[in-house]
Amino acid sequence: MLTRDICSRGTDSMMTIVTHIQLKEGTEHEWDAVMRQRLVAAKKQSGWVGGQLLRPSDKPSRRVIVGTWRTRPDWEGWHKDPRFGETRRQLEGLESGPAEHWWHEVVLDVRKAATSPPAAPKRESKRASKRKSK
């Protein structure tokens, strides 16, 4: 388990932004696909820590984005990136109103340590399988 106590770092603490969005009915699949592209691109940004795209189980046309950044200026820099602007243009018209944002200072970040997926079994070559069958 990875535990990171941010309190001791003072003003250098990570920041999380939580964004609530209401989508136009019928646009959910398209909006999710574009947001997936945006999150993949954000992973390459300086200061990116992690993020989640959430859908409330009782509100299928609502989305919640949780993004954690090393600093707020890192997040602001991402908003100046052309890849962000491109996804912004693609998302316009799919949302039924303005998004609502809340900033949070990260006090404690606890995550399970990343593990590698199990290795795929090695496939035998045709030559090796022929030798076994003889």
Q: From 1.10.472.10, 2.102.10.10, 3.30.70.260, 3.30.70.100, which CATH number describes the 2-114 domain?
A: 3.30.70.100
SS3 of residue 98 by DSSP: coil
- Specify the range with the lowest mean pLDDT, choosing from 5-19, 52-66, 68-82, 93-107: 5-19
Single pTM value for the model: 0.73
Residues 14 and 68 sit within 8 Å (Cβ to Cβ): yes
- 52 sits in which H/E element: strand 48-54
Tokens 């993949």, residue located? 40
For residue 116, pLDDT over 90 is answered with: no
Q: Where are the domains of the chain?
A: 2-114
Q: Compute the chain's Rg from CA coordinates.
A: 21
Round to whole Å and give the CA distance between 100 and 97: 9
